[in-house]
């Protein structure tokens, strides 16, 4: 079991935070729909994030702000316990979880075609607390570093595509139509 799974099982971490938002791309949404059989409107919302968090992003001029239209992003519909896919024994969709969940607590930059990993600045994260080197942390978590880097590249393309279609989501264009238009496959 990797540290995130352990952290989730112990009730900690990012998954039970009700003051946050779990950003998803349409690739994530389609994958979750296929894995769970749920309809998009049962687990997705195009909505604002908590004011305090949005203010923090604005203050830091965070690059993530690009993902918003009218202060809204595509995200999982949270319950009063946090993520709707957080079960008593951890993430119910671990293999199909959103890219952002897979990425956390790591971050990346692509420099001259190469993925350079770093850590997010997170408090109370077991992985960040225990490790100084992201690649070593990944190895200890049982992740294949090269596979993870490939995932980062794929995710980066998904984010670029999100920027192209998010104006359509904000106008209320049905998600199925956007998926077809952008030939999104998982």
d(CA 56, CA 141): 30
Whether the Cβ atoms of residue 98 and residue 113 lie closer than 8 Å to each other: no
In the bound state with ligand SF4, the residue whose beta carbon lies nearer, of 82 and 184, is: 82
Whether the Cβ atoms of residue 131 and residue 115 lie closer than 8 Å to each other: no
Q: Taking the complex as a whole, how short is the minimal distance between the CB of residue 104 and ligand SF4, in angstroms?
A: 4
Q: Draw the binding track, 96-135, toward ligand SF4 (x: CB under 6 A; -: no contact).
A: -xx--x--xx-------------------xxx--------
Single out the segment in contact with ligand SF4 by CB under 6 A; choices: 66-74, 80-88, 140-148, 164-172.
80-88
In the bound state with ligand SF4, the residue whose beta carbon lies nearer, of 119 and 168, is: 119
Helix ranges (H only) for 44-144 are 51-60, 99-103, 126-130, 134-140
Whether the Cβ atoms of residue 140 and residue 6 lie closer than 8 Å to each other: no
Q: How many of the chain's residues bind ligand SF4 (CB under 6 A)?
A: 22
Q: Draw the binding track, 8-47, toward ligand SF4 (x: CB under 6 A; -: no contact).
A: x---xxxx------x-------------------------
Among 49, 93, 175, 179, binds ligand SF4 (CB under 6 A): 93
Residue tagged 């920027």 (tokens): 163
Q: How far apart are the first and last CA of the chain?
A: 25
């Amino acid at each position: 079991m990797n540290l995130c799974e352990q952290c989730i099982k112990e009730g900690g971490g990012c998954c039970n935070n009700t003051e946050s938002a779990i950003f998803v791309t349409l690739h994530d949404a389609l994958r979750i729909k296929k894995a769970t059989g749920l309809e998009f409107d049962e687990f997705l919302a195009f909505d604002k994030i908590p004011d305090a968090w949005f203010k923090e992003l604005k203050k830091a001029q965070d690059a993530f702000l690009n993902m918003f239209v009218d202060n809204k992003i595509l995200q999982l519909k949270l319950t009063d316990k946090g993520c709707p896919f957080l079960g008593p024994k951890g993430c119910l969709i671990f293999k199909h979880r959103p890219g952002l969940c897979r990425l956390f607590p790591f971050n990346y930059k692509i420099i001259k075609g190469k993925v350079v990993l770093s850590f997010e600045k997170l408090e109370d994260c077991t992985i960040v607390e225990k490790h100084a080197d992201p690649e070593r942390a990944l190895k200890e978590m049982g992740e294949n570093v090269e596979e993870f880097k490939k995932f980062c590249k794929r995710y980066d393309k998904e984010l670029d595509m999100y920027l192209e279609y998010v104006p359509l989501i904000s106008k209320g264009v049905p998600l199925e139509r956007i998926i077809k238009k952008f030939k999104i496959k998982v």
